[in-house]
Structure 1
Amino acid sequence: MIKPIVKDVLFLGQKSEEATKKDMAVADDLMDTLRANLQNCVGLAGNMIGVRKCILVFTVGNLIVPMINPVILKKEKPYETEENCLSLIGVRKTKRYEMIEVEYLDRNFKNQKQVFTGFTAQIIQHEMDHFEGIII
């Protein structure tokens, strides 16, 4: 189901909780909502649709990939960049890493470990900041 994007900074500033199998509908809603916003958006976190769970989705080409309870194990090559967010107006400066190694659960709650680089790594870091209540 396509959900409205939350813009309430007090809500967005709260930390998210670990997701369980009962939260899989949130992943589906995130995928539907991202699909509906592809012209302006490349990733979403649970709190952006009103659910404080550690679930994010991001685009890779034509695919939308969900990540449940992701953890960054390694990060290398820091750089400064500017980002925007559907939950905010404008662009803000931030620090990201060129390469990250992430452990996460996939849609089937199977453990995954993967290295991401470049823009995909940046998207994942941005969405994971949402879990901590960090809005660029």
Structure 2
Amino acid sequence: MIKEIVRDKEILSIRSEAATKADMQTVRDLLDTVKANEERCVGMAANMIGVHKTILVALIGDEYVAMINPVIVDKSKETYDTEEGCLSLDGVRPVTRHSIITVEYLDKKFKRRRGIFRDFEAEIIQHEIDHFSGIII
């Protein structure tokens, strides 16, 4: 189901908790909501639809991938400065991101995955993982 995007900074600042199989509806809702906003969105964290669970969706290649309980387990020393926007905020803000990250996560079937992501894909994932800690760009 397509959900409304949360724009309240107080709600967005709440730390997220680990997701379980009971949170699969949130995964489906995130995928529906990000696809409904795909002309202006490449990723979304669950708190952006009001659910404080560590679930994100990110555009990887040409499809949206759900990551449940993702953790960055390695990152390059190389960083770059960029500007990012967010559906929950107006405008863009400056950020520094790692060029390459390694992420361990569970997929939609709760199968353990490990992926290496570079450049823009890594940037999307880092942005969404920041949401889990209540960090708003």
Compute the TM-score of the two structures, normalised by the length of structure 1.
Answer: 0.98
How many residues end up aligned between the 2 structures?
Answer: 136
What is the match of residue 19 of structure 1?
Answer: 19
What is the match of residue 136 of structure 2?
Answer: 135
Gaps of 5+ in 2: none
| Residue deviations 1:86-128 (CA, integer Å, cap 9, x gap) | 0000110111000000000001111111100010000000000
Q: For residue 86 of structure 2, what is the amino acid of its counterpart? A: C
1:2 and 1:102 map into 2 onto residues whose CA distance is: 27
What is the match of residue 5 of structure 1?
Answer: 5
SS of residue matched to 1:47 = helix
What is the match of residue 127 of structure 2?
Answer: 126
2:116 and 2:61 map into 1 onto residues whose CA distance is: 17
Cα RMSD (Å) of the superposition? 0.7
**1:25-104 alignment runs, 5 A limit:** 25-76=25-76, 77-104=78-105
1:62 and 1:114 map into 2 onto residues whose CA distance is: 16
SS of residue matched to 2:86 = coil
1:37 and 1:15 map into 2 onto residues whose CA distance is: 24
2:100 and 2:135 map into 1 onto residues whose CA distance is: 20
CA-CA distance at 1:134 after TM superposition: 0.2
* Matched-pair identity in %: 57
1:63 and 1:119 map into 2 onto residues whose CA distance is: 14
Structure 1 moving runs of 4+ over 2 Å:
none
CA-CA distance at 1:78 after TM superposition: 1.3
Compute the TM-score of the two structures, normalised by the length of structure 2.
Answer: 0.97
1:73 and 1:4 map into 2 onto residues whose CA distance is: 32
